[in-house]
Amino acid sequence: MPTIQVRNIPNDMYMQIQYLAAQEQRSIAEQTIILLKESLNNNNANKNRRRMTLKKMEDLTIPDVLLPDPVTLLREDRER
């Protein structure tokens, strides 16, 4: 299995990982792997959610024919 070595981890981050590992009765290495997996899964889920949202927005696009001319709207508003 490949190995990753990380240097210069901020002390507060290390302490959080150490605390989580102790809570789950895991080693720091095991906890770090779990945190990396969760982060990667969340990142992929967020990308998929964004794609789906953009697709829905494209499907909801109103044709230009139905929209009023913005210049006309501005002129009408200024003339009030």
Residue 67 lies in a domain: yes
Q: Is the alpha carbon torsion for 67, 68, 71, 76 positive or negative?
A: negative
Report if residue 1 sits inside a domain.
no
Q: Is residue 3 included in any domain, yes or no?
A: no
Whether residue 56 lies inside any domain: the answer is: yes
Please report whether residue 38 resides in a domain: yes
The reported pLDDT for the residue numbered 50 is 92
Out of 11-15, 28-32, 68-72, which region has the weakest mean confidence (pLDDT)?
A: 68-72
- The structural domain count of the chain equals 1
* 57 assigned to some structural domain: yes
Please indicate, yes or no, if residue 2 is contained in any of the structural domains.
Answer: no
How confident is the prediction for the chain on average, in pLDDT? 91
Query: How far is CA 35 from each of CA 10, 65, 78, rounded to the nearest angstrom?
Result: 16, 50, 56
pLDDT tens, 52-67? 999 988 888 777 777 8
Expressed as residue numbers, the domain containing 44 is 11-79
